[in-house]
A and B are shown apart, each in its own frame.
Chain A
Amino acid sequence: MSTAVNPPPDAPLPWGSGPYSIKRHGVSLTNCDSEPVQTPGCIQAHGALLVLRLSDLTILQVSENSAEFFGETPEALAGRKVESVVGAEGVARLREVIEREPIERNSLYALTLPARGAAGALDVCVHTVEGVAVVECEATGRGGAVDYFRGVKTALGRMQAANGLREFCRRVAEEVRALSGLDRVMIYRFHADLHGEVFAEAKRGDLAPWLGLHYPEGDIPRPAREIFKRIWIRPLPNAAGPLVELVPLANPDTGRPLNMTHCALRGASVMYTEYLANMGVAASLTLPILRDGELWGLIACHHYTPTHFPYQMRAACEFLAQVATLQLKSAEQSEQLVYRLQLEGVHQQLVAKAARDGDLMALTDRQPSLLDAMEAGGAALHHLDRWWCMGKTPEPAQLDALAEWLHTRPDFASATRPVFVTDSLVRDYPEGAGFADVASGVLAVPLSRARRAMIVWFRPETNQTVNWGGNPHEKPLVTGPHGPRLTPRRSFEIFTESVHQRSLPWTTVEIDSALRLRLLVMELVVSRAERLAELNADLTRSNEELDAFAYVASHDLKEPLRGIHRYAHQLLASAQTLDDENRKRVEGLMRLTVRMDSLLDSLLHFSRVGRTTLELEEVDLNEVVEEALEMVGARRSDGNFTVRVPRALPSLHCDRVRVREIFSNLLSNALKYSAPAPARIEIGYLPPEESASRPNAPAESVGHTIFFVRDCGIGIEPRHFEQIFRMFKRLHGRDDYGGGVGAGLTIVQKLVQRHGGRVWVDSAVGAGSTFYFTLPCKQTTAPA
């Protein structure tokens, strides 16, 4: 059957405006979409059909094979009462059924006509449609007395015990096969895009399995699908068997052809019979499975030799199909529930792990991962400005571009359901064509807009995952007059185009589960953020307390100091009472109070250096050095010393005030500890590529720009290299080299550490000292 080729718009149909007959007109690939499948004019020749006027049960139309069944030609029967065919008893039974049973468009068994000549006993079914009663007669063919009632009863028991949808469908297939004895019974399920899949199968042992094969939408075209919404069964016991026409073709009362939708004997389209023949199938029995009034799937039975479908067997199968339809929803729900529980279970494990590890990477880097629950080909987590990928995903650069695009979409930013879901990414995002093979289907949920964190699942192009019924490796069968087009193989080729760059669709269960995972992760993130905020608040509080304490302590210590200084001052003022020795002692007392004062100031400053936050900005170090020189009261070329900066310093992301303090402390030391000769100071830096193998350089300095301040002063003995950075540690006499409390280098070290860097010294006595330090903040511009 075909929908792919449309007829030329104006081509006249061979049957014009008159009644259609498969036998007379047939159809071709170009007009099969217009085929009047409901009024085919013909029935399958294994049965006979009578059309009766409903008011008086007069015979209006008869199938042309009536003589074989009733011993009289259609012409002889036309216009007579049906009693002449079914007898008085039969008429009474027919009337009873017509009057009492719900047979409008619903064929019911009425009676069995006893054997008459070659035809044997006939099962007679009747239904009404458009003002006529349609009587269908078929051989009963009851060989042995098969107990269908018992068969159905056990079948129902087994079906109800099934767990989940697939299991349920497999049992339906098995039970239908057991009842019908047919070679192959498939549960054929329609997907959202209307292509179908053999979802469950029961078959003769020697046949190749078709389970899991997919068939394009066109293999069961729309008109056929529409009919299957209205009938319960479609028997075709001999697909290649002859067809017989109704005589006359049109109802003589109305001039209209018979609507055969509900006829079991309805003649099949040649497109369908040829399709079956091309697959080697001789007989078929098809029963629809509906869900919420829509065609969910079919019970499709194939037999490889022409057969006979006794009415009772059909009725039993029909009953099973109806039970399947009724139970499908709950089976499907239980299947979804199983999948949902499985998804939720894995997702909760993931989040629990992430909570334990304190890191979202736990979603991706171990078992189970994001990929274990969802049926997807790949998954990616964007977190901490990078992608964590599992399975088959696009490249990171492609992911970046996709994420960028996702963030522009309103559905991705929705307050209630922030999710982007598609089974064909290229439809909305043409750039997706570059990776359609791994990611035609995308299911993405945002985790954080500010940090651009998200989780994305990818589903490959359907062609990559699906076993198509037209598997090109299968040997082609003999094909009919319409050629290879009417084979699954050929229709597959056409359909390949329509699944190009498309994936299997995402289910509601999957989308909901992704959204729930998102909530779980966000709860986790929020609870961690809250904990962090608490810790921060604690830290701020204790920092503030420390700060206040340092000020109060220094205040309380300084007050008595001021008093001591005052009294000493007054003692000195009353000079006449002091001899020289005592005057010196009092002067010493005053000097000590002043020194104590500056020690307290240094201590206070040091205690704050480590705690206040850095204010990072882009800083030109050349300016900073100028400012530092000014602070220590020196200009580059004073008479007493020279400061050289051989090459311009770079700009740096750092705290301007604090880096200035580093330089001013080091410069102040360099000036202080100059040899008797005027100080010569050099300030410079080594970019990372030159910074290897500096003497005493700690390992952490490798790969960073190293700054240095070099003097040619008195130098330091190597054994003191560590001590000099200790608080209040002085190597020289209190008042030698301009005095000082011995806090400068300690503060330098603290400031460098606050920038994540290291400071160290290289020196030799008499040969000057070089203080090196790193400030490993990103260097953004090269010096001009």
Chain B
Amino acid sequence: MKRAHAATVLVLEDCDEDFETVLDAARLAGVTHEIRRAITGDECVALLRDFAPAVAPVLVLLDLNTPKGDGREALRYIKEHARLRAVPLVVLTTSANPRDLGFCYDCGANAYHVKPVRHDEHLRVLGEIFGYWLRAVALPQER
């Protein structure tokens, strides 16, 4: 995947405060990617459909409990999609339910994080996610 300037990070998040925190963390981490937000699971799937195959997002952050087609559906759509399957997908949720955790990894999620209540913690976790998935990790080149 090319580190093109237009590369996108897709975020499914229905809570405005939490999305603001994502943007704060991205800024602090110096992320230059375009960050696109979906509020419902359906919207998330629609956005992914609209991406031209060549410009798939480089990272997807998913909240699970969102209205109208929740994060679980979006997760399944991405991981069952032949081209999107390789895109790193990180679940960020308040749910510590082991069932949710098991479900996400079974579907092929790349990581699962419980959102901390403490804001500084929250920022730190997001910073580490960006650092790892956008810089440290090696991913397959575009096919």
Contact = CB atoms under 8 A, between A and B. Distances in A.
Interface of A: 547-548, 551-552, 554-555, 558-559, 561-563, 565-570, 590, 593-594, 596-597, 601, 604
A562 B122 contact: yes
B20 A566 contact: yes
Contact of A566 (B21, B93, B96): B21
Interface in B59-115: 65, 93-97, 100, 115
B23 to A, nearest CB: 12
A590 B116 CA distance: 13
Contacts of B118: 565, 590, 593-594, 597
A309 B54 CA distance: 124
Contact of A563 (B17, B65, B96): B17
A558 B120 CA distance: 16
A566 B119 contact: yes
Nearest to A557: B94
28 contacts: A551-B95, A551-B96, A552-B65, A554-B94, A555-B94, A555-B95, A558-B94, A558-B115, A559-B15, A561-B117, A562-B17, A562-B18, A562-B94, A562-B116, A562-B117, A562-B119, A563-B17, A565-B118, A565-B119, A566-B17, A566-B119, A566-B122, A570-B119, A593-B117, A594-B117, A596-B117, A597-B118, A604-B96
A68 B99 CA distance: 115
A597 B117 contact: yes
Nearest to B65: A555
B112 to A, nearest CB: 14
Contact of B119 (A551, A554, A569, A601): A569
Closest 5 A-B residue pairs measured CB to CB? A563-B17, A569-B119, A597-B117, A551-B97, A555-B94
B95 A563 contact: no
A547 B21 CA distance: 29
B69 to A, nearest CB: 18
A666 B26 CA distance: 43
Contacts, number: 55
Contacts of B97: 547-548, 551
Contacts of A559: 15, 18, 94
Nearest to B95: A555
Interface string B103-143: 00000000000011111101000000000000000000000
B104 to A, nearest CB: 14
Contacts of A562: 17-18, 94, 115-117, 119, 122
Given A552-B65, A567-B17, 16 more contacts: A547-B97, A551-B100, A554-B96, A558-B94, A559-B15, A562-B17, A562-B116, A562-B122, A563-B15, A563-B17, A566-B20, A566-B119, A566-B122, A569-B119, A570-B119, A594-B117
A600 to B, nearest CB: 9
Nearest to A601: B96
A562 B114 CA distance: 12
A67 B118 CA distance: 138
Contacts of A566: 17, 20-21, 119, 122
A264 to B, nearest CB: 96
Nearest to B18: A562
Nearest to A562: B117
Nearest to A567: B17
A563 to B, nearest CB: 4
Nearest to B64: A555
Residue from B21, B65, B117 having most chain A Cβ neighbours under 10 A: B117
Interface of B: 15, 17-18, 20-21, 65, 93-97, 100, 115-120, 122
A593 B116 CA distance: 11
Contacts of B18: 559, 562-563
Contacts of A601: 96
A109 to B, nearest CB: 99
Contacts of A568: 119
A604 B94 CA distance: 13
Residue from B15, B95, B118, B119 having most chain A Cβ neighbours under 10 A: B119
B27 to A, nearest CB: 13
Contacts of A548: 97
A333 to B, nearest CB: 65
A569 B94 CA distance: 19
A401 B100 CA distance: 52
A605 to B, nearest CB: 10
A558 B117 contact: yes
A551 B96 CA distance: 7
Contact of A565 (B15, B93, B117): B117
Contacts of B96: 551, 554, 601, 604
A569 B120 contact: yes
Contacts of A555: 65, 93-95
A601 B116 CA distance: 12
Nearest to A600: B117
B13 to A, nearest CB: 11
Contacts of A558: 94, 115, 117
A557 to B, nearest CB: 9
A234 B95 CA distance: 100
Contacts of B17: 562-563, 566-567
A558 B96 CA distance: 11
Nearest to A548: B97
Contacts of B116: 562
A567 B116 CA distance: 14
A552 B17 CA distance: 19
A186 to B, nearest CB: 82
A258 B85 CA distance: 109
Contacts of B15: 559, 563
A735 to B, nearest CB: 17
A568 B18 CA distance: 14
B115 to A, nearest CB: 6
Contacts of B21: 566
A594 B118 CA distance: 7
A686 B143 CA distance: 69
Residue from B18, B100, B118, B122 having most chain A Cβ neighbours under 10 A: B118
A555 B20 CA distance: 19
Nearest to B116: A562
A283 B21 CA distance: 122
A206 to B, nearest CB: 93
A563 B117 CA distance: 8
A565 B116 CA distance: 10
A91 to B, nearest CB: 111
A597 B115 CA distance: 12
A551 B120 CA distance: 24
A551 B94 CA distance: 9
A12 B20 CA distance: 124
Nearest to A597: B117
Contacts of B94: 554-555, 558-559, 562
B71 to A, nearest CB: 12
B21 to A, nearest CB: 6
Contacts of B115: 558, 562
Nearest to B119: A569
A597 B20 CA distance: 21
A563 B120 CA distance: 12
A547 to B, nearest CB: 8
B18 to A, nearest CB: 7
A554 B117 CA distance: 12
A567 B117 CA distance: 12
Contacts of A594: 117-118
